[in-house]
Every structure is written in C-alpha cells, then in structure tokens.
Structure 1
C-alpha cells in the first residue's frame, strides 16, 4: 500500500531528525527544530563547532535533496510536523499544560471559528499560549483554505524551545505569523485581532501582584491562570470579535468561577459552551469544553439562547456531522 503524502514527508523529517539527534547527542525535539530549520533554508545544513560531523552532513544533504516542499500543501506539512513533534514530546515527557492540541479538537475550534467569526471576516488570529503552534496553524489553514484569503497570526509563549519550533513550522507552511517570547499575562505588543484561540493551561498563576490588575483575580491566594488568560486575551480582540477557549468542562461551576462570571457579564457575551466528545478523554473529570465568548461592542448582542451541549462520540460520523449542522443552524437563528 503506497504511503500518503503525510507519511512520506514525516519519514523524511524523522530520518533527518534522528540523524541530528544521534550525532549531536541532543533531544529529538531540539533536533527536530534544527532539521526543519535546515529544510526552511533550502536543505543547507547548519554546522557549529564541526557538528554535525562531515559524514552526517552528507547523509542529511542527500535526504534534504529529496524534500520538495512545493509538492505538499500547508495542511500536509502541518500534519507531518505534528507527528514528528508528538514523537519528540513523548520522549521528554512534557508536562500536561504543554501537550499539543490534538487534531480532533483543533478542527472543532477551527469549525466554530468559521461559523461564529464568519470565515470571510477573519483576517487576524491570536493564540496567547501557542506552544508548538499546532492549534493556531490548524485554524489558519482551515480559514485560508475556505476563503483563499491570507491571514495574519500572532502567538505568545514563555517557552523559547516550543516557540522556536512554532516559528519554523509556520514558515514551512507558508503562514504569516509573528511570535512573542513572554509571559502572556504581561502587556502584549499586539493590535486587536478578529478572533483568538487558546488551549489554556490549567492551574494557578504564581505572581499575585500582576494578577491583582485583573478583574478575574482571586480574592485571596493565587489566581487561576486560565481565568486571567481569558480576560487578557479578550482585551486584545476587536469589539464584536470572538474568543474560542479550550477549558475544563466545569469552568463555570467551581468556587473560583464567581469573579470570572462577573467579568463575563460585564465585558463579553457568553455565546456557547460545548463539551468535547467524552471519548477523547481518559476520564470524565478530565473532559474539556470549548468556551465561546464575543466581545461587547460593534453591534454584538447576547444570543437569544446560549449554545450549550456536548459533541457526540467522534467515532459516530453520522451523528457528528448532524451535530455540526445543528451548530450552523443555531448560529443563523441566534446570532445576528
């Protein structure tokens, strides 16, 4: 059985990454960043302090010569890079908050962005916790494929290794992204965007003095980072624009939710909260949802009826397709 384009490209990336990993005695993830940087540079191998050695350079250049990126579309490149990145993340046992957003979830965020944001109206996208860049790339590729319009993406992360990987990955896909290495809770150098997407890290934010500047901060003790990030992100969304956040399924039911709900009532419209398919999670307690917020202003109004529910099992294709159509119908009836 012939290999798919994704498998073919992944094999090339994996071979070169493994060669670099072994010769430089580094991690697979760092070697991956090095390898795709070489690909982005036309197959020229970066050598520092005689590493990689001459034999490895020759092997790499031979493999790179077979990589013709113009044979692959952006989504194929993203999927191949995703497979390689997942391999690297498994090796270093990265913490849960830095795990890559799975495609099954990324595609749903992209679909909701298309329906709520209006694909033709979306020109700029922000991800304040971009990580490896997979979620932002999934959304940008989806909207660009639908409309033919070139989007501008912005990403923020405090992990320089993941950010470097996101940057080179975006370059290989031909995406126009500007990335910032910083704490996303600090002021951002980003003009208001049409939509924002984020797979939010769950946990407490350690700097209470900075959290105190936010309406969603806790009355005492550390504040939830995901609450602060929601408030921060929507500050950088245009009036009437949307934010799509991956959050704990019970985000509005916790004791700490009072300040968040108060802020939501004051500044944005809660237009939807959709639980993701339970079969995508190991436990019911670990289940996540997509929170859909719309910034007030520019004629935006609270939906007549908030979109609440749970996606059906993702393996039931018929029920799943029907549910996606129900969301589109709901939007026409409830969002002006």
Structure 2
C-alpha cells in the first residue's frame, strides 16, 4: 500500500470534519461521523438551519475534491486509522474509549487460526466492547485475504461510537450486526459465538445490582468491569469457544487478582498471555497483553505449557513470520 495515496484524502476529510465541528459546535467524533455520512450521501445534512448556507458551500467544495471510492479496503482501513488517531488527539477521550490499533487485528487473527481450524461453517466473532469497530474490521480484513467466512457482531453502550462504526462498515461493505447495549447484560445474539475479541475497558462497573450473579464480583464495593467482561464473555461463548482479551500486562500481578487467577485456571482453560510491544497504543505508559482463554468442551483441552511470549514489532514482517512459526510450534507441541 502506498501511504501517499491516503494522505490527500486524510487531509481533506480532516479539514471538512474540522469545518463541520466548528459550524455545529460539536466534538470531532460526531463531526467525523456526519462528514463520512455526508460524503456517502453526496450532500450536506442540514437540520434546523445548521450548518449555514455559507458553510454548506464550503463543505461541498471540499467534498468535490474527496474521492474514496477508488481506495481499496486496506487503504480505507489505513485512512480510518489515521482519522481515529486524529479524533483521539482532538477530543482526548477516556483511554477506555480509544480505538484499538488496527495492527492488533493481525495478531488476533493468527491466534484465531491457531485454535479454530474448522472452516466448514462461518466463524462467529463477537466484540462486546466494539466501539468504532476498528478491531473487528481489521480482523475481518485479515480473514478476507484467506477467504474465510465470518459472521460478525459488535456490542457497545456508546451510541456515538456505534454510529461511527456503522458508517465505517458501510464504506468497507462489511456485514456486521451492531447492538447498542450494556455488555454486562445478556447478549442479544442469535447464536453462541465461536470467538470473543475485546480490548477491555479497565475500571470499576458502577451498577452493583447487575453483578450479583457473577463469580468475579467484588466482595464489597464496585466490581472491576474488565473482570466481569471476561466472565460474561466466556459464559456466553460456545463450548470450546475462544476468548482473546487485551488486558493490562500486569493483570495477574495486582493484589485483587487472586480470584481472577483462580477462576481462569478452574472454570476455563488458560492458554496464553502474550505481551504486546511498547508503542502499539497511544498511551505508552499502559503496557498491554493478550489474554488467551478457551472454554471447556468441544475439542478444547488445557495446554501443558501455557503460551508465554512477547509479540514482536508489528511493522517488522520477518519478526512476525517468525512469531507465527513459534505459535504453530507451540500448538503442535501442546496438541492444540
């Protein structure tokens, strides 16, 4: 992919978004969603006289210079990644709301292929904290190269993020079912997922009354949302289902983690913990890892040696190929 090919569209879309943001006195996220929707509809949406005719004319002049139809899916994903980074710089959303870097999708795809080899049926993948959909869309793009059939579901309780996810899905011609709900209530899915992927929000869950049936609820006070989401995901997955969770790298080193460690080693199979490289996330201080869990049942069994590894630089193709080979060797040695 030629980075120069997306530079001009990025600058023009960003400029149009900034113009609309100022005109509507809104945040960058909302202005970006509306800008991309306007471009798709080929007209500026006007409501209650806003934006003004002068702004509409200015936006239309910008829109005439933007051509996204000629971009491939890979190029569109790269463009959207740049726009999401711009959103994070302008709006400075809470760390739990920031988009998951697209490069993580490659690592998760390698892991999914490692554990889920049956391609006779579409693979059902759910992200219970989907946000803008960036993680799901990047995973889908990896599997598109392999022509593997997927059925995608995204859940989030933030309708602004889901609105952008819906627009991005339209541009990518990506079939995905997006649901606006609290992921700690029963998921409104037509079937149990084969795989759950989630960049888990870290913090306390405020609605104590909803945590009463969770094993990992706090004994007093608010419970950790990321603990509850792990439990909810694993209980919703199909037998032998795979849970891939982006978590703090020190997840099991915290004093409160005793119950979590006991739960993931007795209620499910703890298959791996992979440390992600520094600099993958915008917040360099927050070192992250991928927690690999698998439900009991089906063909699943506990690996003799839990997979512990450092994910290499995601921009280094040679190192990534070596890493993929290491994963395959681990799988063969542990009969996964």
Cα deviations by residue, 1:5-43 (Å, 9 ceiling, x for unpaired)? 3323323322321231232232222110101112333x1
1:1-336 equivalences in 2 (<5 Å): 4-41=4-41, 43-118=42-117, 120=119, 123-147=123-147, 149=149, 151-190=150-189, 191-278=191-278, 280=280, 286-314=286-314, 318-336=318-336
For the 8 Å contact 1:156–1:180, the answer to whether it is kept is yes
Distance 1:127 1:331 in 2: 25
Distance 2:319 2:210 in 1: 45
Distance 2:279 2:18 in 1: 33
For the 8 Å contact 2:122–2:148, the answer to whether it is kept is no
Q: When the two structures are superposed, what TM-score results if normalisation uses the length of structure 2?
A: 0.89
Distance 1:192 1:159 in 2: 23
Distance 2:283 2:12 in 1: 36
For the 8 Å contact 2:10–2:83, the answer to whether it is kept is yes
Gaps of 5+ in 1: none
The aligned length equals 333
Q: When the two structures are superposed, what TM-score results if normalisation uses the length of structure 1?
A: 0.89
> Cα offset for 1:115?
2.7
Gaps of 5+ in 2: none
Q: Compared with structure 1, are the counterparts of its residues 57 and 201 closer, same or farther at alpha carbon in structure 2 (3 Å cutoff)? A: same
> Cα offset for 1:66?
4.8
Distance 1:16 1:282 in 2: 24
Distance 1:72 1:284 in 2: 31
For the 8 Å contact 1:192–1:238, the answer to whether it is kept is yes
Distance 2:152 2:43 in 1: 27
CA RMSD of superposed structures (Å) = 2.5
Q: Compared with structure 1, are the counterparts of its residues 238 and 6 closer, same or farther at alpha carbon in structure 2 (3 Å cutoff)? A: farther
Which has the higher mean CA deviation after the structures are superposed, 325-334 or 164-173?
Answer: 325-334
> Cα offset for 1:307?
0.7
Distance 1:313 1:45 in 2: 42
For the 8 Å contact 1:9–1:77, the answer to whether it is kept is no
> Cα offset for 1:147?
1.7
Cα deviations by residue, 1:282-302 (Å, 9 ceiling, x for unpaired)? 999732110111111112111
> Cα offset for 1:81?
1.6
Q: Compared with structure 1, are the counterparts of its residues 33 and 282 closer, same or farther at alpha carbon in structure 2 (3 Å cutoff)? A: closer
